[in-house]
Structure 1
Amino acid sequence: MKSDSSSQESATHSPRLTRNQQAVLDVLHQQADARSAQELYSLLRERQAIGLATVYRALETLKLHGLIKSRMSANGEAFYSPVAPDQHYLTCLQCGQSFPLDHCPVQELETHLQPSVPFKIYYHTLEFFGLCEPCTHQIS
């Protein structure tokens, strides 16, 4: 993944954000973990009048500008977080729990790939799906 300066660079070069887009981004930066659009909507509704469709549009715009990233849970729900240092996961298909990996096994690949392709990489994701230890024992 890019360093924090790269994330800041994409933020610096992005178009001016609307009030709602900035509000969504601010709430995401205040969260310790990735959040679903529905969770973000609930958090934003405590602060201002905003519609769920507006939250989804803001998330899409922020994603296209490289300011946030999304990842899909085992049940297909998208979770959003600011672009920051890499975080990769092992996700259990049975219980849906995600376990973060402590290092990025593809950092070197991104570093070598970026200068060789006509494509600006904002971030990458890596997720493995399987069964966690407790769920493995339940199935046995």
Structure 2
Amino acid sequence: MKAQRTRSQDRILNLLKTMNRAVSAQDIYVELRSRDQSMGLATVYRSLEALKLEGVVQVRTLASGESLYSSVQQDKHHLTCLQCGDSIPINECPVHNLETQLQQSHSFKIFYHTLEFFGLCDRCSIAPVASENS
């Protein structure tokens, strides 16, 4: 049986559904304040955790350690540059069939998955490296 959502959880989920990008908990906190729906930052984090465990919010962690949250609408995959931090979305999903197989073979309900590749984008890979002797 699914627990009833709190008002804070509903507000955060509604906000995430209206945004077309993944955002940090701090961004959610600031956006809610700007909409006169203020709540404490700790409440934002607790609500995000509950929504994640319910399977309606997904989180992706950047190389910097920052977590970005979005409503679960579709699988999202990215190429993320370790130098400049740019994230390039990947539209195809090479592991979708694996997800289906795993759900069946392990009787495991998968809410979402993420796939993240880390490296250097074109701009950063051709940029000259600063010399230590300069």
TM-score by structure 2 length?
0.91
Partner of 1:34: 22
Structure 2: segments with no counterpart, 5+ residues: 130-134
Amino acid at match of 1:30: T
Partner of 1:94: 83
Partner of 1:82: 71
Deviations 1:94-125, CA, capped at 9 Å, x for gaps? 01110000100101111111111032111111
Structure 1: segments with no counterpart, 5+ residues: 1-12
Q: CA deviation at 1:139?
A: 4.2
Question: Residues 49-64 of structure 1 correspond to what in structure 2 (within 5 A)?
Answer: 49-64=38-53
- Rounded Cα–Cα distance in structure 1 between residues aligned with 2:40 and 2:31: 12
> Which of 52, 66, 71 is matched with 2:55 structurally?
66
TM-score by structure 1 length?
0.87
Is 1:21 aligned to residue 6 of structure 2? no
Larger Rg belongs to: 2
Instruction: Give me the CA root mean square deviation.
Output: 1.2
Identity %: 52
Structure with greater contact order relative to length (CA < 8 Å, sep ≥ 6):
1
Secondary structure of the structure 2 residue equivalent to 1:96: coil
Secondary structure of the structure 2 residue equivalent to 1:35: coil
Amino acid at match of 2:15: V
Question: Residues 40-51 of structure 1 correspond to what in structure 2 (within 5 A)?
Answer: 40-46=28-34, 47-51=36-40
Secondary structure of the structure 1 residue equivalent to 2:4: coil
Is 1:120 aligned to residue 72 of structure 2? no
Contact map agreement 2:102 2:108 (CA 8 A) in 1: no
Amino acid at match of 1:102: N
> Compared with structure 1, are the counterparts of its residues 14 and 67 closer, same or farther at alpha carbon in structure 2 (3 Å cutoff)?
farther
More helix by share: 1
Q: CA deviation at 1:133?
A: 0.3
Partner of 2:119: 130
